[in-house]
Structure 1
Amino acid sequence: AVYSAMFQPDIREKLIFTFAMLVIFRFVANLPVPGTNPAQLAAIFESSTVLGFLNIFSGGALQNMSVAAMGVYPYITSSIVMQLMVPLVPTLQALSKEGEQGRRQIQIYTHWMTVPMALVQGYGQLVLIQSQGGFAGTAGIGFSGAQALPTLSMIITMAAGTMFIVWLAELISEKGIGNGISIMIFAGIIAGLPQFVAGQLYTGTGDTVSSTILLGGLMIGLVYLIVIVQEGKRQIPVQYSRSVFRSGRMYRQSGQTHIPLRVNTVGMIPLIFAFSIIIFPAYVGSIFATSSNDFVASGAEWIQGVFDPGNFGYWVFLFVTVVVFTFFYTMVIFQQQNLAENLQRQGGFVPGIRPGRPTEQYINRVLLRITWGGAFFLGFVAVAPFIFATIAGGNFALTGRSQAFGITSAGLIIVVGVVLDTLRQIEAQLLQRQYEGFIK
C-alpha cells in the first residue's frame, strides 16, 4: 500500500508532510531544558525502573530533559478525563450528541484542560527526578528562594513543548496520514526502543545469548498475538429499510451492513492508566521516605514495599486494574456513541432484535463478552515482566531483560496498532482514488 501510495501525488504529499512533522518532533525532543545535567540524568535513568518506563514512551526525551519530555501524555490524560466527564456532565453529554460541531467543541475543552495538566505533570516529573538525585549540585526544585525562577522556567518550557507537539499532531491529522497523536507516540517509541532493549540485553553476563533468543521468540509470538487481538472483531448484522419519496412516487429501499465491535476497543489507554496509578503511590512514598517524622517515614516505606515490582501483590493489583479499567473505559466509549439510538433514527435494526432499548441491551451483552479477551490480553501485557522472569528462572523482581520485555510488549501494542491503522487509511485513500478514476 505504501509503495502504491508513492505514485499518487496527493497521498505522497501527505506522507512527506507527516515525515517532516516527525523530523521537527525529534529535533524538539533533543532540545534540553535549561538548568539540567545530562550526565547525571543518564546515570539515574539507568537504575530507575519507573523513570525507564516513562523515558521509553517519550523517545528518550525525558532522559535528555528536553522541552518535549512529557510528549503528548498530558493531552492523553486530558482526553481520558474529558471522556469520563461526558456521561456525568449534562452540558458535555448534550454536546456529544450534536455531531461534528459538538465533538469539535469538546476537543477545544480538551486542549484547554491540557495546559494546566501539562503544568502539573511537568512539576510532578521534576519532583520525581529530584527524588532520585537528578538535580544534585543545583538549587533543586521548589517555589522558594533561588529555586523559584529555575523551577518555573522548566515547568513552563516543558508545558509549552507539550502544546507544540500537540499542535504538530493536529497538523498531521488534518494534512497528513493517520492519527496525529498516535503517530507522535509511535515516533517516540520507535526512536527510543531499540537503544533501550539493546542496553538492557547486554548488561548481563553468561546467559545473554540464551536470554536474547528467548526474548526474540517471545516478541515474535507477541506481535502475532497483538495483530490477532487488534484485528479481532464481532460483526453485528444491521438491516436498513426506509421509504424514499422520489419523482412523485414513494420507493422502498433496503440494505444490509455490519457494526464491527472490536475485541480491543480502547487500545493502550488501560495500560497507560494502570501504570500511572501504580507508579503514583511509589512516587509519593519515595518523597516522604526521608521524612523526619518516624510515622510518616515508616508509612512511606510500607507503601514503597507494597508497590515494589519485587512483590507478588504488585503484579496482581496491576493485572486487576488493567482488566477493570478496560471494561469501564470500553463501556464509557460505547455509551457516548449512542449506536442503538442512531440506528433507530436512520431506519436501521438488528435482525431479530427490537429497535431502541432491546438493541442497546443486545449490543451491550455482545460487547461485554468479547471485551473479556481484550481485557485479559492487556492484563497479560502488563504482567509480562513477571511472566518472563518466571520463565527465565528468576524471581518476582524486574531483571533487565524482563523489564525490556515488559516495556517492549507495552510499546508493541501501540506500534502495531498505529501501523495497522495507518495502513488502513492509506488503503482507503487509494481505493477512493480508484473509484474517482472509474467515475471520470
Structure 2
Amino acid sequence: MSAIFSAFKDADLRKKILFTLAMIVLYRIGAQIPSPGVDYREISARLHEIASENSGVYSLINLFSGGALLQLSVFAIGIMPYITASIIVQLLTVVIPRFEELKKEGQSGQSTMMQYTRYLTVALALLQSAGIVALADREQLLGQGQRVLVEDANIFTLIMLVVVMTSGAVLVMWLGELITERGIGNGMSLLIFAGIATRLPTDGMNILQSSGGVVFGVVLAAVILLVIGVVFIEQGQRRIPVQYAKRMVGRRQYGGTSTYLPLKVNQGGVIPVIFASSLIYMPVLITQIVNSNSPTVPDNWWMRNVIAHLQTPSSWQYIVLYFVLIVFFSYFYVSVQYDPYEQAENMKKYGGFIPGIRPGRPTAQYLGYVMNRLLFVGAAYLGIIAVLPNIMLDLGVGNIDAGATPFGGTALLILVSVALTTVKQIESQLLQSNYEGFLK
C-alpha cells in the first residue's frame, strides 16, 4: 500500500494512473453494450448456463474479452485481432527482408510496422467478426439450435453486426495505444488483464456452487501456489558477466567497467501459450463452420478421434498435444526474437567480452548454448503451468473449461506477468522523479 500511496503522491504519475483506469472503465462499459440485432434478453437469461457449459472454439477469446464474446457486445472480439496481427508482423520480420530493414531503422521503421499492424488488425477483425456472426446466424455459436439473433434478422442486420463488431475491435486497439502512450504500462496487456480479472468473481462462484466449499478451497490454495511459482520463474534470470576493455579517447579513459547480461528464464513470456491455444482450436473452428450448413453433425473418423478430443480439455490427448505445442512455440518464438550472433557483434563493437570466452563467434555460440538451456526450463515451466488446470479438471475439479477460466494456467500467467511489468514501470518512473524506489 505504501507503494501505491507513493505513486499517487507524484502528480504526473497520478494523472497517468487515473487516465489508465478511465480507459479500462470505458473498455468494460463497451464490453457490456449489446450490438444491434442481438437478442440480448435470450443471452442474459442463459449467461450462467453459458459460462458453466461453454468450452467451444472461442473460449479463449471470450476469456480475454471478459465474457463479452458470448454476449455479442460491441467489444465482442476485443483485443485478439491486434494480438494476432502483432505476432504475424513480428514473425514476418524474419521472412520478408523489407520488414527486417524497417526493424533496424529505429523509430521511423517502428512507426511503419505499427501502421501495417493496424491494417492487418482491421482485416483480421473483419474476418473474425464475420465468422462469429455466421455461426450466430446458423445457431451454432452457443450450441446446437441456440438462438442468438433477433427473429427478424436479415442480411442488412448481419452486415450491421459485422461492421459494429469490427469497429469495436478497432476502438479497443485505439484505447490500448492511448494507454501505452499517455498512461502507465502496456495498453494491450492491461486490457487483457482487465478482461480476465472481471471473470474471477463469476467463475469462482461457479466452482463454489458446482463443486462445494472444500473443492473451492483446494482451488484457491492451488492458485496461490501457482502464483508463487509464476512470480519466482518470471523474476528468474541468468546473469552473464560482461567486461568492457579500457580505451583512450583523447586524454580520457573509457571502459574498464564490469556489468552483466540478464537472460530471463522465460524469455518468450506468455506468447507461446497464446500461439498454442489458438492453433489447437483451429481445426475445431474450421470443422464447426463447415458442419454448420448441415442439420446433423456427421459421424466420421475426424469427428470421433480428433474433434472430440480437441473439444475436451481434460482428455490426455488434448493435454499432451497442448504441452508439445507450447514447448515447440517457446523454442520457435525465442529463436525468432533473440539472435545470439547479433548480441555478440554488439558486444564486440563496444569492446565488451565475456571473461574466458573469445569475442565474436565463440561468444555467440556460448550465448546460444546458455539460451537453449534456459529455454528448456522456461518451455517446461510454461507447459506445466498451462496443463495443470486441465489435469485438475480430469480429476473432477470444477465443471468449466480449464483453458477459459481466470483460475487456469494461461490466465494466471497473463495476470501475474502484466502485474509485475506494470509495477516495474511504476517503480522506474518513481525513480526518475524521486530518485528512490519503493524499497530502501
TM category, shorter: 0.7 to 0.9
The answer to whether the 8 A contact 1:264-1:371 is kept is yes
In the alignment, does 2:375 pair up with 1:371? Answer: yes
- Structure-1 separation of matches of 2:185 and 2:179: 7
Which deviates the most, 106-115 or 49-58?
Answer: 49-58
1:90-169 alignment runs, 5 A limit? 90-129=97-136, 130-131=139-140, 132=143, 133-135=145-147, 138=150, 147-169=154-176
Taking every aligned residue pair, what percent have the same amino acid on both sides? Answer: 37
1:304 paired residue number: 307
Q: Shift in Å at residue 421 of structure 1?
A: 0.8
1:47 paired residue number: 53
Structure 1, gaps ≥5 residues long:
141-145
Q: Shift in Å at residue 290 of structure 1?
A: 6.2
- Structure-2 separation of matches of 1:435 and 1:137: 57
Q: Shift in Å at residue 93 of structure 1?
A: 1.0
1:250-265 alignment runs, 5 A limit? 251-265=253-267
1:189 paired residue number: 196
Deviations 1:66-116 (A, max 9, x none): 111111110110111111111111111112122233223222211121110
Q: Shift in Å at residue 8 of structure 1?
A: 1.0
- Structure-2 separation of matches of 1:75 and 1:137: 26
Q: Which residue identity lines up with residue 108 of structure 1 in the other structure?
A: Q
1:243 paired residue number: 247
What SS does structure 2 have at the residue aligned with 1:238? strand
Q: Shift in Å at residue 193 of structure 1?
A: 2.3
Which deviates the most, 126-135 or 262-271?
Answer: 126-135
Cα 1:22/1:101, change in 2 over 3 Å: same
1:381 paired residue number: 385
1:267-278 alignment runs, 5 A limit? 267-278=269-280
- Structure-2 separation of matches of 1:191 and 1:158: 21
2:220 paired residue number: 216
- Structure-2 separation of matches of 1:118 and 1:431: 40
Q: Which residue identity lines up with residue 399 of structure 1 in the other structure?
A: N
Q: Shift in Å at residue 287 of structure 1?
A: 3.5
In the alignment, does 2:293 pair up with 1:281? Answer: no
Q: Which residue identity lines up with residue 367 of structure 2 in the other structure?
A: I
Cα 1:294/1:414, change in 2 over 3 Å: closer
Structure 2, gaps ≥5 residues long:
none
What SS does structure 1 have at the residue aligned with 2:95? coil
Q: Shift in Å at residue 19 of structure 1?
A: 1.0
Deviations 1:344-378 (A, max 9, x none): 23332222222233222221111111112221121
Which deviates the most, 372-381 or 192-201?
Answer: 192-201
Cα 1:295/1:404, change in 2 over 3 Å: closer
1:20-99 alignment runs, 5 A limit? 20-41=22-43, 42=47, 43-50=49-56, 51-99=58-106
Q: Which residue identity lines up with residue 24 of structure 2 in the other structure?
A: L
2:424 paired residue number: 424
Cα 1:406/1:253, change in 2 over 3 Å: closer
Which deviates the most, 416-425 or 289-298?
Answer: 289-298
Q: What is the number of residues matched between the two proteins? A: 422
Deviations 1:27-56 (A, max 9, x none): 111111111123433354442113444322
